[in-house]
Amino acid sequence: MSAIAAVPSGKYRPTRVLPGFHLSLGFTLFYLCLIVLIPLSAVFINTFTMNWDGFVAAVTSDRVVASYKLTFGASLIAAALNVLFGGIVAWVLVRYQFPGKKIIDALVDLPFALPTAVAGIALTALYSANGWIGQYLAAIGIKVAFTPLGVIVALTFIGLPFVVRTVQPVLEDAERELEEAAASLGANHWQTFAKVIFPTVLPALLTGFALAFARATGEYGSVIFIAGNMPMVSEITPLFIVTKLEQYDYAGATAIAMVMLLVSFTMLLTINLLQAWSRKRGQVEKV
């Protein structure tokens, strides 16, 4: 609650701890321009130094297109897997009490703290043909390391915390009385989940999906080790950007980066619109 200060006219106005709206808004716009807009504008400025033919050649070569398919396809699959299993993890952590719960809750944040290169090396060691897990998968004909499947595994690993930490607070604040009311009216477990629980957590699931997808599309360190970087098979787009930079082809690197930026922004905008629609629909149903 804000404090109330008296003014000479006898009226009262709230005092603010932070500066007023105009100063705060000005600082916000300045900070966003400095940290976000100016670096992103450099991508477009460097790209515009190329002619149209050079731009098309840089962003539509066969290897680059194959990397787009792998990067965005694997990111979508990994984000979808995290929505499913991350939602289950969040549900268990919120609704159940069991020994070691705090340890498991802390392990969820491990991909945040673990350096991406370390994560990539660890996953490669686990899922290689002679690794702890990979040797059993290889026995049944499943190869993970140095394949697109390995890319999906790495992206799923680094994206899990985004879904869990987004859904967890929503489940904690959910009104269990609504579930009890549904059960008292004769709803079974599936009906209660579909009609009461799922609409409540759907916006959070979409947010977690968007965050996991955005994180996965730009991931580099944990992927290059387990992917194997084989042309037309397991090369990711961020690797092409780094390769272009190492060759001092800054325009080519920014051209590929601009395509990734535009595609990612379009997909994130679509997801945010779906999230806003689901929230609006939920409010209408409650009314």
Cβ 210 vs Cβ 187: under 8 Å: no
Tell me which residue of 189, 200, 196, 190 sits closest to 167, measured CA to CA. 200
| Average pLDDT value for the chain | 85
| Secondary structure of 61-114 in HEC code, one letter for each residue | CHHHHHHHHHHHHHHHHHHHHHHHHHHHHHHHHHHCCCCCHHHHHHHCCHHHHC
The CA-to-CA distance between both ends of the chain, in Å, stands at: 28
The string of pLDDT tens digits covering residues 12-70 is 555 566 667 778 888 888 998 888 888 888 888 888 888 888 889 889 999 999 999 99
The string of pLDDT tens digits covering residues 124-165 is 999 998 889 999 999 898 999 999 999 999 999 999 999 999
Angle formed at CA 154 by CA 126 and CA 86, multiple of 5 degrees: 105
For residue 2, what pLDDT is reported?
A: 45
Note the pTM of the prediction, 2 decimals.
0.83
**Domains of the chain, each with CATH number or no CATH:** 69-286 (1.10.3720.10)
Cβ 256 vs Cβ 239: under 8 Å: no
Cβ 282 vs Cβ 200: under 8 Å: yes
Q: Mutual orientation of helices 38-47 and 250-286 as an angle, nearest 10°?
A: 130
From CA 5, how far away is CA 13, in angstroms rounded? 6
For residue 154, what pLDDT is reported?
A: 94
